[in-house]
Homo-oligomer: A and B are copies of this chain.
């Protein structure tokens, strides 16, 4: 994520330096990581395990001058034969703040042995319901949160699904509304328990048959969605908790694709993006969460909880900063209820800086951050202030479901997921065309075809280095950001699950 957080003091943070060579905050008053000096890193800096980089290659992958495209080695096979490629940014941070993970796991009932030690490895035990996971994590202000999420989020999801494993094993019966402590459905008898109704409610339901009538039926699918949403919150809480013992720098956008029992669940918190390409057509699987797309939610919070604005910001949006000489004049504005604009007479309070300011990729929350959902950022403050950004950020993803088994797919039908470095300079349609063209020219039996397509996509967005910077074939500026891409084929996975 490029310059998504102002004040570049944290850009050079990472675990690559030997312990003891810790960074200084360039500004003592605010920013990330305050109080973390001297703590060990939770996970050392590195690239995804599946790349299997030697120390030499790891160093090579950080060359800002050449920005090498790093792909899967020939011979390495990711689940479903998915393709992968990445490249570092053009110099905005020393290390690649994108991270990625790809795992095949197994959902099992929590065993008594592991009840108090979650997040364990599968240790080669291949019993249970298979679960496939692909994630991209676009870090900002350091790579600590992104690395930690890439190591743990899939395990948290697996463990959450383990808790409802007995329900997943009966996919044809709707999940019970109420469970006893042992996990079995709990039924109260008719009439029993109706006495707590205090009489103020004409609709109070005192009768089991009426109650049944009033019950919402919750699908197994929405239970899986709930597990994924909850897992993102648990991941965020874990980062906060472990920050007391470890240096975990920055925050990250998180985009996760989960395959379980015939369905793909695409969960997005941030401005990464996933699309499905089917028959050369694009099916968008994510929305981006930015100061612009979440303006009204953020303004509403600022309106209801003005103390969070620290007397420095106003929840009202103006098209530009107001000058003191404009007091008493009328200026265009909009509040949390409005989509259109109207004029208001400027009062003293309007001279504060707008909570949401700027347009497009330059839009910022409290002049600080350009993305409104993700993990981490617990210490992030407005520069030189004690105003925390975190209350305005959400760690909850939007989850969309794609029923893989209900659709037919050919070998060129894929899901493409990538960080904003990819999408900022290449549209959905251009991505779809490039991938479809590339795959159709490729030997269908080449196990590298999806990785080669990912490499092709990556080159398209990065461009080549010319005198005037990284340029695309059309001479437009390429992406100077970190770029990470998975291409996941949608056909032919039945044999391995």
Q: Which has the most chain B C-beta neighbours within 10 Å: A224, A230, A385?
A: A230
* Protomer copies: 2
Q: Which residues of B contact A301 (CB under 8 A)?
A: 304
Is residue A283 contacting chain B, with contact meaning CB distance below 8 A? Answer: no
Q: Which of A430-473 contact B (CB under 8 A)?
A: none
User: Are A339 and B200 interface neighbours, CB within 8 A?
Assistant: no
Residues 190 to 241 of chain A near chain B (Cβ within 8 Å): 192-196, 200-205, 211, 214-218, 222-230, 233
Asked if A205 contacts B305 (CB within 8 A), the reply is no
Point out the residues of chain B lying under 8 angstroms from A358, CB to CB.
214
Whether the Cβ atoms of B383 and A332 lie closer than 8 Å is no
User: Contacts A177-B331, A329-B181; is A227 near B192 (CB within 8 Å)?
Assistant: no
In the assembly, what is the distance between CA of A227 and CA of B340, in Å? 8
Contact across chains for A179 and B331 when beta carbons are under 8 A apart:
yes
* Structural contact, B340 and A178, CB atoms closer than 8 A: no
Chain B positions within 8 Å of A324 at CB level: 193, 195-196
Question: CA–CA, A478 to B65, complex, Å?
Answer: 71
Interchain CB contact under 8 A, B202 and A321: no
Q: Is A321 within 8 A of B229, CB to CB?
A: no
A242 near B: Cβ within 8 Å? no
- Measured between alpha carbons, how far is A386 from B367 in the docked complex, in Å? 42
Q: Is A22 an interface residue (CB 8 A)?
A: no
Residue-wise, chain A 135-171 has the 8 Å CB interface mask toward B (1 for contact) of: 0000000000000000000000000000110000000
B6 touches A222 (CB 8 A): no
Q: Is A476 an interface residue (CB 8 A)?
A: no
Q: Is the CB of A394 within 8 A of B186?
A: no
Does residue A1 face the partner (Cβ distance < 8 Å to B)? Answer: no
- A262 close to chain B: CB less than 8 A: no
Which residue in chain B gives the minimum CB-CB distance to A186? B329
Please name all residues of chain B whose beta carbon is closer than 8 Å to the beta carbon of A233 when the two chains form the complex.
337
For A403-424 the 0/1 string (1 means CB < 8 A from B) is: 0000000000000000000000
B216 touches A320 (CB 8 A): yes
Q: Find out whether the CB atom of A326 lies under 8 angstroms from the CB atom of B394.
A: no
**Is A330 among interface residues, defined by CB-CB distance under 8 A?**
yes
- Residues B305 and A177 in contact, CB atoms below 8 Å apart: no
The answer to whether B214 and A321 have CB atoms under 8 Å apart is yes
Verify if A120 is at the interface (C-beta below 8 Å from B). Answer: no
A323:B188 contact, CB within 8 angstroms: yes
* In the complex, chain B residues whose CB is within 8 Å of the CB of A343: 163-164, 179
**Is A328 an interface residue when CB atoms closer than 8 A count as contact?**
yes
Question: Quick check: B320 and A211 within 8 Å, CB to CB?
Answer: yes
Q: In the complex, what residue of chain B is closest to A326 when comparing beta carbons?
A: B178
Contacts of A25 in B (CB 8 A): none
CA gap between A193 and B346 in the complex, in Å:
14
- Quick check: is A64 within 8 A (CB to CB) of the other chain? no
Whole-angstrom distance between the Cβ of A494 and the nearest chain B Cβ: 26
A319 at the interface (CB under 8 A from B): yes
In the bound complex, CA of A6 to CA of B200 (Å): 13
Closest chain-B Cβ to A181's Cβ sits at a distance in Å of 7
Pair B202/A342 contact, Cβ less than 8 Å = no
Residue of B nearest to A198 (CB): B312
Inter-chain contact A325/B192, CB cutoff 8 Å: yes
Q: Is A7 an interface residue (CB 8 A)?
A: yes
**Known pairs A304-B301, A319-B215, A331-B177; A394 contacts B200 (CB<8 A):** no
Residue of B nearest to A29 (CB): B200
Closest-CB distance, A418 to chain B (whole angstroms): 24
Contact A329 B223 (CB under 8 A): no
Task: Indicate if the CB atoms of B178 and A329 lie closer than 8 Å.
Answer: yes
Chain A stretch 85-125: residues in CB contact (< 8 A) with chain B: none
Whole-angstrom distance from the CB of A343 to the nearest CB of chain B? Answer: 6
Pull 20 A–B residue pairs with CB atoms less than 8 Å apart, ordered by A.
A163-B343, A175-B332, A175-B341, A188-B326, A193-B323, A193-B325, A193-B326, A196-B324, A196-B351, A200-B383, A201-B353, A203-B367, A205-B320, A218-B319, A224-B340, A226-B338, A226-B340, A229-B337, A230-B342, A304-B304
Known: A163-B343, A196-B324. 15 other contacts (CB 8 A): A7-B202, A164-B343, A175-B332, A177-B331, A178-B329, A186-B329, A192-B325, A202-B367, A214-B358, A217-B319, A222-B341, A229-B337, A229-B339, A304-B305, A337-B396
Of all A-B residue pairs in the complex, the 9 with the closest CB atoms, nearest first, are A225-B340, A193-B323, A226-B340, A226-B342, A216-B319, A193-B325, A196-B324, A337-B396, A179-B330
